[in-house]
Amino acid sequence: MDFAEARNTFIHRWGELGPKWGISKSKAQVHALLLISPKSLSTDEVMEILQISRGSACMSLKSLMEWELVYRECPEGCRKEHYHAEKDMYHVFRQIIIHRKRKELEPLLHMMDDYACVEESCSGSKEFCQVMSDIRFFATKADSTLDSLLKANPNWFVKSFMSMVR
């Protein structure tokens, strides 16, 4: 496989993973392209390379900037804005955790608050109360674990993670 084929395959595969992670295919492809690009790219360059519409490119870039995974810059002497991806994988991982936690875990915890009074009295079904209690327990543990990861020193986290996977 030559470089161009490897680059295109990576972008394509990263795009296929996007919907499994809760983001659009085009957003994942834009992220992949900028992640491996040695220089910042304009919206037009992103559109041309990925063969996507201006609307798709703009929406993807805006969303990636909101997630702090992509940054906008205006190179000197150039009228068009250019974009580059965050290359620090700890920062990328951290930002993804923050947004996934906000989108998926926090709504679950808020939903479980609605059932707290039923759990306390447990006047209905014991099975219902047990399931609600178990969901609350695991969601709360996941939330506190993710909070600990987010507060961890990046050097400690990376070193600890690397020692676990060896």
Tens of pLDDT, residue by residue over 69-124, are 999 998 787 788 999 999 998 888 888 888 889 988 999 999 988 877 765 667 66
Note the pTM of the prediction, 2 decimals: 0.77
Domain residue limits, the chain: 3-85, 89-165
Q: How far apart are CA 93 and CA 141, in angstroms?
A: 19
Alpha helices in the chain (DSSP H): 3-17, 25-36, 43-50, 54-66, 89-100, 106-113, 116-121, 126-151, 154-165
- The CATH number given to 3-85 is 1.10.10.10
Say if residues 152 and 146 touch (Cβ distance below 8 Å). Answer: no
Say if residues 68 and 86 touch (Cβ distance below 8 Å). Answer: yes
3-class secondary structure, 133: helix
- 161: pLDDT strictly greater than 90: no
Tens of pLDDT, residue by residue over 59-79, are 999 999 999 999 999 878 778
